[in-house]
Amino acid sequence: MKKFKYLLFTLLALSLLGSCSDDDNNKAGNPVIDLKSDLSSACFGDSLEYTVNCKDEGGVPLSTLKAFLYFSDELVSQTTIRTKTEGDYTGKIYIPYLKGIPNGKITLKLVLQNIRFSTTQQDVDIQVSRPENDFINLVSSDGQIYKMLPVAGQPYQYSTTVPPKGNETMFSGHFVAPAFGEKGVEQTFGERDNDVIQGETKDLIFSVNHTKDIQVTFNTQTYAYAPVYDPKVPIIIDITQNSNVYVGNLIQGHKYRFTGDDAINAQDWFYDTDYFKKNRDSTFTFQAVSGSYTINADFSNKYFRIWSMNGGLPASLNADGSGALWIIGSEGINKPFWNTINHGWWTGTDSDLSLAQIKNKVYQLTLTVGQQLDPGNVNFKFFGQPGWGTEFHAKGGDYVLSLSSSDFFMGDGTNGGDNGNVYPMKGVTLKEGDTYVFTVDLTKGCAKGVVTVTKK
């Protein structure tokens, strides 16, 4: 009987607890928002700060305060604050700095929710305008900063002048707008997918007339800039007998036109096809990777000698296979013709051949028998610079190449050739007019380089 009474009492107590719990669960509550901040106006790019008093008049604990920012009907920014207790909460929401958006109204939606999922919402219309900075900066790829000032009568248009640097036909940089006002943040404008994107710092490419100062402009509303680099318009490189050396940036896939002396465009002028492809319109498409190069015009022998640069010096090979690759060889190999430029095993940019880097860590050299190759005197080696120093071998050391060819072999010190030197295969006669393309692949590292030889 006692056990029965205890059981009955327990069931009754549980029933009462359940009733109380049901009463609590049925309380939806009444969240209330009281915005304390003046949000009547702001700027694009502001980190907008707001303070809200949050409470629930039904006594139900609060959960979250969410802020949503809309341009027209498009959600562009949002943030959430946990509201464990009633009181004042301060948050920040970023007003995006978007292209082409005119000054006008945006809407901030504040939504307070309690643990019963009851909500209340307050909408605030905010007048926003684009910052009109006193200046913005052009930051060039070499770290130079050029202050750009507003253009009178053209809102959001800024301009500066950049002096030419030698024979440069292009330069690169991006734009930076300083933080505007107490709530603003710095804005950057750079390149992504051939477009100007806010928030990017990748440099844009500007075309240059290297004989004049360059006027650079940028509009912080439309993102239009000038002078725009157009790959369809040939870049002029002016070379004369009195000024026969060009040092500057060349862009892979871009067209160039040589002016200054008629001899350069004559039929008997030698163009290195590893670097330049001649087009029907008398322009030349640059074949090697983009970068800084020297073009040295030899008017006596009617050819260009080309090599890549690292700052003010000829480029050399880096430990990871990037940089530059060179050939030093016997009297029987050189460009434009072996019997014209004959510097057997001499060193320096006037004697050694710089291979064209056609893609990252892949190098190419094209040689024609009877022109760049003397079939009876072929003996050369790959080096990391135009001179003695880093050199490749067939075996041993940190710089090793394997060569695949039916017409050439690489000596290893035991197979009839010096270690790393390239020779015609024994029993093979190189035929005049045959053209060979040597491709050196260092993508797997300098210790695992691969040379392939293709007969054209």
Identify the band that residue 229 occupies on the pLDDT scale cut at 50, 70 and 90: confident
Q: Residue 35's domain is classified under what CATH number?
A: 2.60.40.10
- What's the 3-state SS for 341-381? CCCCCCCCCCCCEECEEEECCEEEEEEEECCCECCCCCCEE
Question: Does residue 231 or residue 172 have the better pLDDT?
Answer: 172
Q: Are 54 and 113 in contact (CB under 8 A)?
A: no
Identify the band that residue 25 occupies on the pLDDT scale cut at 50, 70 and 90: low
* Predicted confidence (pLDDT) at residue 10 exceeds the cutoff of 90: no
**What does the block give as tokens for 400?**
């090793």
365 & 456 share domain? yes
pLDDT value at residue 16: 41
* Predicted confidence (pLDDT) at residue 49 exceeds the cutoff of 90: yes
pLDDT value at residue 218: 98
pLDDT value at residue 211: 57
109 & 140 share domain? no
Q: Are 367 and 436 in contact (CB under 8 A)?
A: yes
402 & 445 share domain? yes
pLDDT tens readout for residues 191-213:
998 899 999 999 998 877 655 78
pLDDT value at residue 84: 85
Percent of the chain with pLDDT over 70: 93
Among 20-24, 27-31, 360-364, 417-421, the minimum mean pLDDT is found in 20-24
In DSSP terms, which residues pair with 295 in a beta bridge? 246, 306
Instruction: Encode burial over 238-255: b for 16+ CB neighbours within 10 A, e otherwise.
Output: bbeeeebebebbbbeebb
- C-alpha span between 264 and 296 (Å, rounded): 12
Identify the band that residue 168 occupies on the pLDDT scale cut at 50, 70 and 90: low
328 & 455 share domain? yes
324 & 379 share domain? yes
Q: How far is CA 255 from CA 195, 233, 323, 362, 365, in A?
A: 21, 7, 23, 22, 21
The conformation of residue 393, written as its DSSP 8-state character, comes to B
Q: Are 356 and 364 in contact (CB under 8 A)?
A: yes
Domain boundary among 312, 345, 369: 312
Report how far apart the first and last C-alpha atoms of the chain are (Å, whole number).
Answer: 108
Domain boundary among 89, 104, 129: 129
- C-alpha span between 352 and 107 (Å, rounded): 67
pLDDT value at residue 377: 95
165 & 147 share domain? yes
Domain that holds residue 257: 230-312
448 & 362 share domain? yes
88 & 186 share domain? no
- Residue 451 in any domain: the answer is yes
- Residue 200 in any domain: the answer is yes
Beta strand ranges found along 84-133 (DSSP E): 87-94, 104-114, 119-129
Domain boundary among 250, 280, 312: 312
- Residue 16 in any domain: the answer is no
366 & 273 share domain? no
Question: Does residue 26 or residue 34 have the better pLDDT?
Answer: 34
Question: Does residue 51 or residue 234 have the better pLDDT?
Answer: 51
The mean of the pLDDT values for the chain is 91
pLDDT tens readout for residues 373-395:
999 999 999 999 999 999 999 99
pLDDT value at residue 164: 77
Q: How far is CA 191 from CA 3, 93, 170, 215, in A?
A: 82, 26, 15, 19
Number of domains in the chain: 4
414 & 433 share domain? yes
293 & 344 share domain? no
pLDDT tens readout for residues 282-321:
999 999 998 889 999 999 999 999 999 998 899 999 999 9
250 & 210 share domain? no
pLDDT tens readout for residues 98-140:
999 999 999 999 999 999 999 999 999 999 999 999 999 999 9
- Residue 208 in any domain: the answer is yes
pLDDT value at residue 269: 94
Q: Span 398-415, mean pLDDT?
A: 96
